Amino acid sequence: MEEYLQYRPEGDTFSLFSAEHIWTLVIISVFILGIMLLKKSWMPHQHSIRLVLAAILFLALITHQIWLLSEHAWSAASALPLHVSDLSVIFAFIMLINGSEKLFQFLYFAGIASSVQALLTPDLGTYHFPHFQYLVFFISHGTVILAVLVMLMAFSYKITFRTVWVCVLIVNLYAAIIFAVNKWLGSNYMFLMKKPEGVSLLNVLGKWPWYLIWAELIMIVSFLLLFWMYKRGRLHD
């Protein structure tokens, strides 16, 4: 059991789209489909479901920080939740508690897009199932998507074409702040300074800074696709 809690476990590195990765994605997809297809069943209990999802996100965030501290591995240069997908965990927790429409609008685009990218190409190094880091990573990012879908179906929140570009602007302004933070801490949050060492979509997008330009374009296309899905879903409601 202790080996699944070690900060630097020995053994094979995480393998992209291995059996364990695919099965993890299947399980998350089943939960997502369940939320979408069984709306009438869970809707009367949506408040309780929101609290459960919020508790999962809170526990994932807190236990991860405690684990890093217990392993003497906490560092401001690597352990702060400053990646967009990590920040989305915090925002999703707040959204589930207070029902913020503004947070929902941001998370519908930035939260879903960053979480999907993280789930498909996780930078996990030597962490694989059932290591604590592996479980926390997939549970937290998968729960962000579930949280956004629950709020989307439980409330009549509005998303406009303008919202897409507001979110693009927010992410870019945030990236500018994080670039300065990276310079200060010697960190690599949002992978603005260099590409991740593990498997990542960024690794096929060229060298720095060109992969940042491609990442920007992919983000915009992803947001536009999510907007199209929102509009299509509303037409069929």
Give the DSSP per-residue string, 154-184.
Answer: HS-----HHHHHHHHHHHHHHHHHHHHHHHH
pLDDT for res 227: 96
Question: What is the pLDDT averaged over residues 217-234?
Answer: 91
Q: What is the pLDDT of residue 210?
A: 86
Tokens of 91: 């925002």
**Which of 116, 141, 105 has the alpha carbon at shortest distance from 230?**
105
pTM of the shown model? 0.93
List, as own/partner pairs, every contact residues 75-78 make where C-beta atoms lie below 8 angstroms and the sequence separation is at least 24, other chains included: 76/185, 76/187, 77/185, 77/186, 77/187, 78/187
Answer whether 190's CB lies under 8 Å from 175's CB.
yes
What proportions of the chain, in percent to the nearest 5, are helix, strand and coil? 70, 0, 30
- So what's the pLDDT on residue 130? 87
* Band of pLDDT at residue 80, cut at 50, 70 and 90: very high
CA separation for the pair 198, 179 (Å, rounded): 21
Domain ranges (residues) in the chain: 10-235
Backbone angles phi, psi at 160, to 5 degrees: -115, 170
Residue 207 DSSP label: S
